Amino acid sequence: MKTTLHIAAACLFDEQGRLLLVRKRNTRFFMLPGGKREPGEDALSALKRELHEELELQLDDTALQPLGQFQAPAANEADTWLQADIYRAALPHAVQAAAELEELRWLDTEQPLPNDLAPLLREHVLPALQRLM
């Protein structure tokens, strides 16, 4: 039986237009910062909570622009699908990994894509970002 996780995640860009990716401890795939919604929690509230936990980043609602809703297989959990609300924002300052994050990486979307991107990012989010440019 497949499980569906409801998540909220953000495309966070630095001044050079690079996209911030994160890798959680004991996983292989890089993904967007964000995470699972708590019961009764809306996507924006979940995203703001996760960004604060993972990156010690606090953003106003107005800084986060909706990119869209996407479905994809989860990168690190078998038989699990993601229902994802994705937002985008400019990073106001440098961030560092906290909580369960092990590594941060900057992705230049003009360069060839690495092999270790989560399916949601590779198959849905990056194409949606390309359509905006």
What are the pLDDT digits (tens) for 18-30? 999 999 999 999 9
Average pLDDT over residues 76-104: 94
For the chain, give every domain's residue range. Answer: 3-132
List pLDDT tens digits, range 38-60.
999 999 999 999 999 999 999 99
Contact 87, 11 (CB under 8 A): yes
Q: Residue 1: its pLDDT value, please?
A: 67
| Spatial distance between the Cα atoms of 42 and 129, rounded to a whole number of angstroms | 23
**∠ CA 78-22-82 to the nearest 5 degrees?**
35
Q: What gap in Å lies between CA 75 and CA 91, rounded to an integer?
A: 25
* CATH code reported for the domain at 3-132: 3.90.79.10
**Contact indicator for 90, 102 with CB cutoff of 8 Å:** no
pTM: 0.94
pLDDT for residue 77 is more than 90:
no
Average model confidence (pLDDT) across the chain = 95
Asked if the model's pLDDT at residue 78 lies above 90, the reply is no
- In which band, very low, low, confident or very high, does the pLDDT at 86 lie, cut at 50, 70 and 90? very high
| Per-residue confidence (pLDDT) for residue 81, from 0 to 100 | 95
Query: Are 98 and 50 spatial neighbours (Cβ–Cβ below 8 Å)?
Result: no
Give the mean pLDDT of 76-87.
Answer: 94
Q: Taking Cα atoms as reference points, which of 57, 107, 85, 79 lies closest to residue 3? A: 79
